[in-house]
Amino acid sequence: MSFCNSFEPRPVVIESERVRLEPLDIHHADDLAVAADEAEIWAYMPLAAGVVRDDCRGWIEATHRDAADGSQVPFAIVDRLSGRAVGSTRYLNIRRAHRSLEIGYTWLGSAARRTPINTHCKWLLLSHAFDTLGAIRVEFKTDNRNARSQRALERIGATREGLHRQHMIMPDGHLRDSVYYSIIDKEWTDVSARLQQMLSAASG
């Protein structure tokens, strides 16, 4: 198999009728500080509760530094109904030579959870990765304790690959085991159809 086009994820605006993903910027800070003000968001995230809320501008600046080498593309999640940023997500672990990336570091404020917003985000990010960029693999990882996240990934058709034991030290000192999932290009047609059915059911 040969590929004619380079695999080059870059900051971009992608949107559906409900969600707009746009490059994370300082102007999102006020909205995101409000959205981040909930300890539950950070229970399984490698970032201490209160960091984004208390210094959102500093967090955004740190995110930009992390992304400066091209290994990440961070987004703000904007609810198009309210026009407000309600969370963040990103492409990370971008491996251009292997046409592979991870979708992760996703968090949403309480008002956006248990709504179609997360499904719209996954649809937009996966569609852009496979259909526009030409990815052959998209991966996800989640805390082994986070059963909700694992169920959500399995519901869209991601394949559980295995457990990375003691993968990271969490802010509270917990040694986190991470569960890895993936979707590969030959599975995308089925996953795409499943996501579109979920979106149709949510809007029906």
Residue 153 host element (H or E):
helix 147-156
- The domains of the chain are located at 14-203
Provide the whole-model pTM.
0.94
Q: Which residues of the chain have pLDDT under 50?
A: none
Quick check: helix, strand or coil at residue 144? coil
Taking CA 136 as the corner, what is the angle to CA 23 and CA 113, rounded to the nearest 5 degrees?
45
For position 154, what pLDDT does the model report?
96
Mind listing the pLDDT tens digit for each residue in 6-31? 899 999 999 999 999 999 999 999 99
What is the distance in angstroms between the CA of the first residue and the CA of the last residue of the chain? 40
Residues 17 and 70: their CA atoms lie apart, in Å, by 29
Q: What is the pLDDT of residues 85-118, one digit of tens each?
A: 999 999 999 999 999 999 999 999 988 988 899 9
- CATH topology for 14-203 is Aminopeptidase (3.40.630)
Give the pLDDT of residue 75.
Answer: 98
Determine the pLDDT at residue 104: 97
